[in-house]
Structure 1
Amino acid sequence: MKYCVVICLLIGTVFGRYHDFEKKSIEEIKQGRAECFEKFPVPKETRELFKKFEYPDDEIVQNYVHCVAVKLYYFVDVEGYIDEHLEIQFGADKTPIINKCITFKKDHPDWTLGQWALSDWKCLVKEGLITEEYKNIDN
């Protein structure tokens, strides 16, 4: 059983990191976010903060951000954010930001996947990853 789990994790990592990633459309992003809002019902007042790119550090927000990042193939649970996918989505000119903000699980062994995803996402947003085309997506 232990080996089965390891094999499944490896297959998930390979698929998530090396499948043919294509830039997600605004509609695909909205769909992924809607699915994650259903799974993790973020309160309306917190969702309003998202419109200003403010993400409170609480469990529901952590889980929501992790869910969206996984759905859009930006994040793989074993490795974290996938730099190549973020570069395709947001532009190669964002590589310095991506390199500055992406951390590794070994850097935060006690964190949940949600804490890890949110922490890196907040850095990416703060450093300017989000381009104009994404700033007006309805939350």
Structure 2
Amino acid sequence: MKYCIIFLLFVGIASARLHGYVKRTVEQLKEARADCIEKFPVPAETRELFKKFEYPEEEIVENYVHCVAVELQYFVDTEGYIDEHLEKQFGNDKIDIINKCITFKKDHPDWTLGHWALSDWKCLVKEGLITEEYKTAILEH
């Protein structure tokens, strides 16, 4: 009986993790970015690089990317990027990219959370997670 309860608890948590996520709007994305810029004041010239989806390997950028990913519920500090959330946000056709790019903390025990978030994010962007249509919507909005 005890194992049955534990199993049902895990099933419930897994189900809530997937079903509790709602695709973020452009407004929510912009709000998360603004909140994180306030917390981690990335220099203006570096923010200009973000418009081209370029992210320098700097601590302030790592912290900013981590902040945005956490606020948007793309990233959890114990698990990293949540593949189901990214799939819901960016589309089912992106699952191969997502699986290729997301890593596990155990594989990089010396990485900070910021470095982990940035490293995986840069791979996701490089491999085509962000479509041109999505980039345009984010940057023009």
Q: Please, what is the CA RMSD of the aligned residues?
A: 1.7
Q: TM-score, normalised by structure 2?
A: 0.84
Are residue 21 (structure 1) and residue 37 (structure 2) matched? no
- CA shift, 1:131, in A, is 1.7
Match of 2:88 in 1: 88
Count of matched residue positions in the alignment of Structure 1 and Structure 2: 126
Give the TM-score, by structure 1 length. Answer: 0.86
Residue of structure 1 in register with 2:8 after alignment: none
Contact 1:17 1:76 in 2 (8 A): no
Residues 74-85 of structure 1 correspond to what in structure 2 (within 5 A)? 74-85=74-85
Shift of 1:84: 0.2
* Higher helix fraction (1 or 2): 2
Structure 2, unmatched stretches of 5+, are 1-12
Describe how 1:1-139 pairs up with structure 2 within 5 A. 17-18=17-18, 20-136=20-136, 137-138=138-139
Offset of 1:66 from its aligned partner?
0.1
Q: Equivalents in 2 of 1:18, 1:95: separation in Å?
A: 14
Deviations 1:66-115 (Å, cap 9, x if unpaired)? Answer: 00000000000000000000000000000000000000000110110000
Q: What amino acid sits opposite 1:107 in the alignment?
A: D
Percent of aligned positions that are identical: 75
* 1:10 aligned partner: none
Larger radius of gyration, structure 1 or 2?
2
Report runs of 4+ in structure 1 exceeding 3 Å deviation. Answer: 14-19
Gap regions ≥5 residues in structure 1 = 1-13
- Greater RCO (CA < 8 Å, at least 6 residues apart): 1
Rounded Cα–Cα distance in structure 1 between residues aligned with 2:134 and 2:43: 22
